[in-house]
Structures are given as structure tokens and as C-alpha cells.
Amino acid sequence: MELFEFSRFIAAIYRQSKHDFKREIAELDVQATQSDLLMFIYDHPALTQQQIAQAMVVDPSLLARDLRVLVAKGWVQRAAHSQDRRAKVITLTTAGQQLARRLKEIMTKWWSELFVQHPEINSQVFGRQLELVRQALVVADHD
């Protein structure tokens, strides 16, 4: 396999998962990118906006826009950081936590069904390889 094809495969997997995910979450009144953000905050509570942007590799201005929407919907709250009043700590409200749990269930179901339908794909190996690639990219980005 040609190495340049990796990007094409990764992009296709991402697009297909988002396409299917959007269909599943249509009734929840949340966009797919916002759902990614909600699930990330759920898994990483009390980070600052800057930390979230760095960890998710998201443009800070796009993150701020999505956060404004999520705050307006009552799913996210911002609070001044105890040591730096300019920084905002991001947390989920109770409603945001409930929604994030539901979103995680939907996404978990999608991946679980994929692996059941395709037992030739080892989820443990696949996940570990993706984790190693992500770690390598984080290290390379900090060099």
C-alpha cells in the first residue's frame, strides 16, 4: 500500500462515522463537532479553553464559537480560572453531562457494530495503532 493512501483512508473513516453519527443524533439538537466537544469535556473536565483547543487540535476561535452555542443551550458553563482570571475553565452542566453520556453511547454503538460486522478488524490493535500515531504527532508538534 502506498503511504499517501493513509490520509485518504483516515479521512474516509472520519467522514463516514460523522455522516452516520449525524443521522443518529439529529433529534438531540447538537452538531457533530459540538458533540465531539461535549464528549471531550466530559472525559476531561475543568480544562481551560486553551487546553481544550490544544488537546483537540482545534482553532481557538472555532472552539470559542462552539462553546458560545453550548453555553446558550445550557450544556456548558465557563468560569474564571482560580489562578488566572483571564483563562476560562470549561465544565458541563448536569444537562450537558447527560447529553455527553448519550452521545458516547451512540458513538460506542457505532464502533461496536462496525467491529461485530467486521471481525477481521481487531479493535484492540486498531485502537492501539491509532493511539500510537496520535502520540507521535503530539510529540512531533512539541519539537
Tell me the C-alpha distance between 114 and 43, whole Å.
Answer: 23
Which single residue is written with the C-alpha cell 485502537? 127
Q: Are 68 and 49 in contact (CB under 8 A)?
A: no
Rg (CA), the chain: 17
Tell me the C-alpha distance between 72 and 51, whole Å.
Answer: 21
Span 4-18, mean pLDDT?
92
Residue 141 is predicted with a pLDDT of 66
CATH topology of domain 5-142: Arc Repressor Mutant, subunit A (1.10.10)
Question: Which tens digit of pLDDT belongs to each residue from 46-92?
Answer: 999 999 999 998 999 999 999 999 999 999 999 887 777 778 899 99
CB atoms within 10 A of CB 120: 5
- Report the DSSP beta bridge partners of residue 91: 77
On average, the pLDDT of the chain sits at 92
Span 6-23, mean pLDDT?
93
Give the rounded percent of residues in the chain with a pLDDT score beyond 90: 79
Tell me the C-alpha distance between 53 and 64, whole Å.
Answer: 9
CB atoms within 10 A of CB 52: 19
